Amino acid sequence: MEREQARARQPDLVGTTERDGVDLAYAVYGSGSPTVLLMPTWTIVDSRFWKAQVAYLARHYRVVTFDGRGTGRSGRPQGAAAYTDTEHANDTMQVMDATGTNRAVLVALSCGVPWAVQVAAGHPDRVHGIFALSASCGFDISQPARERFAWDARLEETDGWAKYNKYYWLENDYTGFREFFFGQMFSEPHSTKQVEDTLRWSADVAPQVLVDATAGRIGCDGAVCEPLEPLCRRVRCPVTVVHGTDDHIRTHAVGERLAELTGGSLTLVEGGGHGLQARQPVLVNKLIRGFVDQVVPPRAVRRTRVRALDRPRRLLYLSSPIGLGHARRDIAIAQELRRLHPDLQVDWLAQHPVTTMLESAGETVHPASAWLASESTHIETEAGEHDLHAFQALRRMDEVLVNNFLVFDEVVDETHYDLVVGDEAWDVDYFLHENPELKRFGFVWMTDFVGWLPMPDGGEREAALTADYNAEMIEQRARFPALRDRSIFVGNTADVVPDRFGPGLPGIREWTEQNFDFSGFVTGFERRGPEQDQALRAALGYRPEHKVCVVTVGGSGVGTSLLRRVMDAVPLARRLCPELRFLVVTGPRIDPGPLPHRRGARVVGYLPQLHDHLAACDVAVVQGGLTTCMELTAAGTPFLYVPLEHHFEQNFHVRHRLDRYDAGRHLTYAEAADPDYLAEMIVKEASMETAFRPVETDGAERAAAMIAELL
């Protein structure tokens, strides 16, 4: 079974209430007033379809979700009569009572819209307003492509909307229907992740349940449906309707009719499909918040605005938490920027473990950083034993990225920043290109790799997915070339892999040369000579007669298994080289306590000056992250690197760069499983004289000079 994704926010309360023998599972997020109730939708998916909305809305309101009957943790009654609109509306009232919700703003998608209308018409004192997305209502509006196929008749044809048929679901190809339906739901290009999510969630709903639910909704198999239009006319609360013009499930004429009947506002999203809440989450979330604040006025807000010419120069720095190397180079660049602009104020929007390094360097961490969902936790959840499918892990981090972008959006809305620097801040770069009207600052994008690459065992599917992600990025950059005021590649032209983005797409190196400036590598420290190295060894407590091996696995919690393998090799290595000593650095997210104790090995947690130890030691064993490997290359220290399995960046991008510098010895994790072999390799490398190609020492200055031109 595929693992469930890490959530951007966990519920504060989870419970179940019962109505007429049917369990209804609910969750409550946040506190205060007003309450936003995210309604269930068609019985093909449960409340997870609101995953991109919950964390953002719960920072401002109390949010309630529940699994509609037939889905998720809720009960699955039998028969069409159990799934009428009235039953769903009564379920909503039951959940409101169970959660102590006296009144709420109802946010509904598709089939959930008629249920919200029925609640508002029947209980006007309980509803502040209705926000209706992609309404699927029983209005007399023609959709010929669907109507030529009867839902409850046996059909000979099985293509297209003929799949929307109860006998097809029960007797033919239920999975084929789901694939067709969600392909129609997400009509926008590059919607592979949204289709993947809904296919996974809908697999939990049996065909017979969906048949009963559909019959109940449309009035078949003995179910009785109450006409919706008279109910719409009875709605007295404010209504906002949002509908995509490329909705293949229900034409936007349905949304227009709903707005007309309820006297509501209407927003048409040009080119938008049916699943707007998933495909355009930033737009939808901001529209929901605007509606809630309109119908339930918020508390007064007090702000201070400063005349433009009186403002100090302010920069907001975003540093990726996936590995501490980003933070070290970003701090070095920030220090160089202050030399060029002594009045510059730098704020950091960052997460642990980056905040640990920033605080030790005396940098200012923006208080809104507390609202960021942990990317490191997600990565650690995704990892196996020295195995991290980096591309898929980032795809499954979409809920976290939506939340974190909206935190960023609020920060730049509340405080004027002259410039934002995003060092692999994937959320900001992606969602700014999706919503370019939100850019109101200079923007610099930095990265040390370009191009998603498939792992060989991923087959054709992974090759197609990585190519699709690359194509979307290329299209974004072509359409909005001015959105980034500067794109900086941390390295040189030859450091870019010579592969292609995918079939029919450009070469990665050629495209990067056309779209990036190159700063050279940023080490974050100055190279020392032999005399300084001896002084450094003494300052770090290294004894002259000892050889020292530093073992480190980066800033995330992915690496414990490699540390254990090295610890198993320690006695064997010391038998081969008695003067060998080990310094094992677990980093800020791995508890050093449970690691085994070995004579001649000292285990420590976070080391602020780890790069000094890497420069002073005789040999190192590392995981394969670019910054650590390049720091060792710059210092001329022999090292073994063991890339994470399925980590495309470490296996392709980093290895390509290290091969170019003739640096490091590559080991697979399988090779490292043999303690005798690992011990032999450590001892062999410790006696090696290195001849790595030199790494530039002015990368921070060059990057800072490029950025400073925008201040």
**127 and 69 within one domain:** yes
Is residue 453 within 8 Å of residue 652, measured between CB atoms? yes
SS3 482: coil
Domain boundary among 295, 316, 351: 295
Is residue 137 within 8 Å of residue 121, measured between CB atoms? no
**510 and 452 within one domain:** yes
**673 and 595 within one domain:** yes
**452 and 405 within one domain:** yes
Burial 110-140 (b: 16+ CB within 10 A, else e): bbbbbbbbbbbbeeeebbbbbbbbbbbbbbe
In a domain, 380, yes or no: yes
64 bridge partner residues: 28, 37
The predicted structure's pLDDT at residue 1: 39
**287 and 322 within one domain:** no
pLDDT digit string (tens) for 375-397? 999 999 999 999 999 999 999 99
Please give, one letter per residue, the 3-state secondary structure of 526-582. CCCCHHHHHHHHHHCCCCCCCEEEEEECCCCCCCHHHHHHHHHHHHHHHHHCCCEEE
Domain that holds residue 648: 530-686
Q: How far apart are CA 84 and CA 456, in angstroms?
A: 49
In a domain, 575, yes or no: yes
What would the two tokens of residue 158 be?
Answer: 């099985």
Q: How far apart are CA 290 and CA 424, in angstroms?
A: 30
Domain boundary among 295, 320, 350: 295
User: φ, ψ for residue 419 (rounded to 5)?
Assistant: -150, 145
* C-alpha torsion angle, residues 438, 444, 450, 454 (rounded to 10): -30
Q: Indicate the angle between helix axes 426-434 and 459-479, nearest 10 degrees.
A: 60
Q: How far apart are CA 621 and CA 665, in angstroms?
A: 10
The predicted structure's pLDDT at residue 138: 85
The predicted structure's pLDDT at residue 305: 82
H or E segment to which residue 475 belongs: helix 459-479
Q: How far apart are CA 518 and CA 489, in angstroms?
A: 5
In a domain, 549, yes or no: yes
Domain boundary among 187, 202, 218: 218
In a domain, 4, yes or no: no
Burial class from Cβ neighbours inside 10 Å (0-12, 13-18, 19+) for residue 259 reads buried
SS3 224: coil
H or E segment to which residue 504 belongs: none
**432 and 332 within one domain:** yes
**186 and 53 within one domain:** no
CATH of the domain at 276: 3.40.50.1820
**503 and 457 within one domain:** yes
Q: Please provide the DSSP assignment of 169-219 as one string.
A: IIII-HHHHHHHHHHHH--SSS-HHHHHHHHHHHTTS-HHHHHHHHHHHHT
Domains: count for the chain:
4
The predicted structure's pLDDT at residue 521: 95
Q: How far apart are CA 708 and CA 705, in angstroms?
A: 5
In a domain, 282, yes or no: yes
pLDDT digit string (tens) for 429-470? 999 999 999 999 999 999 999 999 999 999 999 999 999 999
In a domain, 404, yes or no: yes
**473 and 601 within one domain:** no
User: Which residues, at least 6 apart from 478, have a Cβ–Cβ distance to it below 8 Å?
Assistant: none
The predicted structure's pLDDT at residue 532: 65
CATH of the domain at 557: 3.40.50.2000
543-546, long-range: CB < 8 A, 24+ apart: 545/579, 546/579, 546/580, 546/581
pLDDT digit string (tens) for 498-523? 999 999 999 999 999 999 999 999 98
Q: What is the CA radius of gyration of the chain?
A: 29
Q: Can you list the residues of the chain whose pLDDT is less than 70?
A: 1-5, 524-532
Q: Indicate the pTM of the whole model.
A: 0.95
Is residue 277 within 8 Å of residue 284, measured between CB atoms? yes
Q: How far apart are CA 69 and CA 47, in angstroms?
A: 11
**213 and 99 within one domain:** no
**502 and 390 within one domain:** yes
**290 and 327 within one domain:** no
In a domain, 25, yes or no: yes
In a domain, 416, yes or no: yes
Burial 349-383 (b: 16+ CB within 10 A, else e): bbbbbbbbbbeeeebebbebbebbbbbbbbbbbbb
Q: Indicate the DSSP class of residue 42.
A: S
